[in-house]
Structure 1
Amino acid sequence: MAPSAPLAGVDVLLADLDGVVYASHQAIPYAVEALNAAAAYGIRLGYLTNNASRTPETVAGQLRELGLDATPDEIVSSPQAAVVLLADLVPAGSTILVVGGDGLVSEVEKAGFRVTRSADDDPAAVVQGFAPAVAWTDLAEAAFALRGGDAGIPWVATNTDWTIPQARGTAPGNGTLVSAVHTAVGRLPVVAGKPERALFDVAVARFGARHPLFIGDRLDTDIMGARRAGMQSALVLTGIDGPKQLLAAAADSRPDYILEDLRGLAEDYPATEDVRDITGVRRVRVGTAVVRHDGERLTLETPGSGIDRVRAAAAAVWGAGVPIYALDVAPELYS
Structure 2
Amino acid sequence: MPDARTPLDGVDTVLADLDGVVYRGRHAIDHAVESLTDVARTRRVGYITNNASRTAETVAGQLAGYGLEAAADDVVTSPQAAVRLLVDAVPAGSTVLVVGGEGLTSVLEAEGFVVTRSADDAPAAVVQGFSPDVGWAQLAEASFALHTGIPWIATNTDWTIPQERGVAPGNGTLVSAVHTAVGRLPVTAGKPETPIFTAAVERFGATKAAFIGDRLDTDIVGANAAGLVSILVLTGIDGAKQVLAADAKSRPDFIVGDLRELDQPYPETVEHDEEDVHVVTVREASVAVRGHVVRVLSDGNDPVDLLRAGAKAVWGTNKAIYGLDVDPKLHADG
User: If the length of structure 2 is used for normalisation, what is the TM-score?
Assistant: 0.97
* Alignment partner of 1:268 out of 259, 265, 270: 265
Per-residue deviation, 1:282: 0.8
- Show the counterpart of 1:122: 122
- Show the counterpart of 1:10: 11
CA distance in 2, matches of 1:245, 1:147: 37
Within a 5 Å distance, the mapping from 1:48-87 to structure 2 comes to 48-87=48-87
Give deviations 1:100-148, integer Å, cap 9, x for gaps. Answer: 0100001101111111111111100000000001111111110111112
* Alignment partner of 2:180 out of 178, 183, 197: 183
CA distance in 1, matches of 2:206, 2:4: 21
Per-residue deviation, 1:322: 2.2
Per-residue deviation, 1:4: 1.1
- Show the counterpart of 2:283: 287
CA distance in 1, matches of 2:51, 2:164: 15
Q: Which runs of 5+ in 2 are unaligned?
A: none
Moved more, 295-304 or 113-122: 295-304
Within a 5 Å distance, the mapping from 1:121-200 to structure 2 comes to 121-148=121-148, 152-200=149-197
Within a 5 Å distance, the mapping from 1:26-37 to structure 2 comes to 26-37=27-38
Within a 5 Å distance, the mapping from 1:222-241 to structure 2 comes to 222-241=219-238
- Show the counterpart of 1:103: 103
CA distance in 1, matches of 2:298, 2:99: 52
Per-residue deviation, 1:3: 3.9
Per-residue deviation, 1:7: 1.4
CA distance in 1, matches of 2:283, 2:29: 25
Point out 4+ residue stretches in structure 1 off by more than 6 angstroms: none
Tell whether 2:305 aligns with 1:302: no
CA distance in 2, matches of 1:173, 1:119: 24
**Counterpart code for 1:101:** G
Per-residue deviation, 1:228: 0.9
CA distance in 2, matches of 1:45, 1:173: 26
Per-residue deviation, 1:327: 1.2
**Counterpart code for 1:237:** L
Moved more, 214-223 or 318-327: 318-327
Secondary structure in structure 1 of the residue aligned to 2:40: helix
Per-residue deviation, 1:245: 0.5
Count of residues in Structure 1 that have an aligned counterpart in Structure 2: 329
- Show the counterpart of 2:314: 317
Q: Which runs of 5+ in 1 are unaligned?
A: none
CA distance in 2, matches of 1:294, 1:190: 44
Within a 5 Å distance, the mapping from 1:233-252 to structure 2 comes to 233-252=230-249
Give deviations 1:212-261, integer Å, cap 9, x for gaps. Answer: 00000000000000111011100001111110010000100000000101
Give deviations 1:248-305, integer Å, cap 9, x for gaps. Answer: 001000000001011110111011111112x221100111110011222111111111
Per-residue deviation, 1:323: 2.1
**Counterpart code for 1:73:** D
**Counterpart code for 1:50:** N
- Show the counterpart of 1:93: 93
CA distance in 1, matches of 2:323, 2:139: 42
Secondary structure in structure 2 of the residue aligned to 1:276: strand
Give deviations 1:185-221, integer Å, cap 9, x for gaps. Answer: 1111000000100100000100111110000000000
CA distance in 2, matches of 1:206, 1:302: 45
User: If the length of structure 1 is used for normalisation, what is the TM-score?
Assistant: 0.97
- Show the counterpart of 1:23: 24
**RMSD of Structure 2 on Structure 1 (CA):** 0.9
